[in-house]
Amino acid sequence: MTIKQHTRAYCAKDDARAWRETALTLVLYAASLAAALMALPNWWVAVPFAALTGLFGVRVYMLQHDCIHGSLFSARQMNDLMGNALSFIAMTPYEATRRNHNLHHAHVGDLDHREAFEIDIMTVEEYANASAGRRLWYRFYRSRFTLLIVGPFVLYLVLRRFPRHGIETGVGNVILHNTMIAAYFAAIWAVAGWAGIGVLLISIYVGATFGAIIPYVVHNFEEVYWKRRPVYTYEHGALQGSSVLRFGRLFDWLTLNIAYHDLHHLNANVPCYNLKRCHEEAGDLIDSRLIGWREAMACYGWKLYDERSGRMVGFAAARGAQRRMVPAE
């Protein structure tokens, strides 16, 4: 049996389980948000509850993520309905994100289709050949300040209001999504004023920052797979271009098992509530790249992909490439 064949046994949808996960997540999100708002103006109490709201917001995003793949509920219509309904909490427009995310899955690890990748990446040779302005921008983009501190918040609060492929997938869906967010902010303001908006922004910041660690680390470890066609294969891109995060059971529960990312990329039809079991019961069929918290933070030191060594490297490696480009006198 192949690992692909193994995953097919875990694709069955359990609507009752899906509803339980959705209801539990929304209750926890609403309860923590209400607690934060009721604690105002005691910010020392409100801020921890706002942060907790942000973490539960990540769980909402993961539910929407399964809807995007049509894997949360058995009926596609129910996945689409729920995916749109959750979008104002997930801060993610449904239709455009489905298009973008499916492209990401179709081309994971494909150097010829990096436009589908969620995080910009350059090769060593490309960086060495780039203009000074392009290199400066890429250094800023790949800095920890951008990737960890400000980038995720700007992405979810601002950039996703105008998503890539939003016109192709339907402006109406983008307008509906943004209208829902505006109504959500207005409702919070009506209940708790500008302090309530502050609570909501804190929750969005925490959720976006915490959630952004996941797509970065699962695709930016040292030995990550990147190839060009015809050498590139989808299965290698899925299994070797994605890692498994060993962040503990609480993390798995909070993120609905998205940590088992290699199998998710190999077969996105496996629902989140089956994914961990699918991985644990795969046995010797799979050899996942496991990454813990300490190594996850070290992954932010990898900046460029070196096609010669087949590894992610730091910016220092580009200096060697530039020296190779200078003709001998």
Q: What is the pLDDT of residues 19-61, one digit of tens each?
A: 999 999 999 999 999 999 999 999 999 999 999 999 999 999 9
Residue 321 predicted with pLDDT over 70? no
Ramachandran bin of 290, using left for φ above 0, alpha for ψ from -120 to 50, beta for the remaining angles: beta
Task: Assess whether pLDDT exceeds 90 at residue 118.
Answer: no
Task: Please name which of 25, 12, 30 lies closest in space to residue 191, comparing C-alpha atoms.
Answer: 30
| Least confident among 67-71, 96-100, 166-170, 194-198 | 166-170
> Cβ distance 163 to 174 under 8 Å?
yes
Read off the pLDDT of residues 198-253 as tens digits, 9 standing for 90 and up: 999 999 999 999 999 999 999 999 999 999 999 999 999 999 999 999 999 999 99
Residue 88 scores a pLDDT above 90: yes
124-164: pLDDT as tens digits: 999 999 999 999 999 999 999 999 999 999 999 999 999 98
Give me the amino acid identity at 180: M
Checking if the pLDDT of 327 tops 50, the result is no
Q: In which band, very low, low, confident or very high, does the pLDDT at 328 lie, cut at 50, 70 and 90?
A: very low
DSSP string over 49-107 = HHHHHHHHHHHHHHHHHHHHTT-SSSSHHHHHHHHHHTHHHHT--HHHHHHHHHHHHHT
- Percentage of the chain surpassing pLDDT 70? 97
What was the pLDDT predicted at 117? 84
3-state secondary structure of 290: strand
Per-residue confidence (pLDDT) for residue 320, from 0 to 100? 66
Lowest-confidence range among 115-124, 143-152, 270-279? Answer: 115-124
Which pLDDT belongs to residue 135?
A: 95
The mean pLDDT value for 97-107 works out to 94
In the chain, where the domains are located = 3-121+143-294
Q: Within a 10 A sphere around the Cβ of 148, how many other Cβ atoms? A: 15
Residue 329 pLDDT grade (very low, low, confident, very high; cuts 50, 70, 90): very low
Collapsed DSSP state (helix, strand, coil) of residue 79 = helix
> What mean pLDDT, rounded, does the chain reach?
94
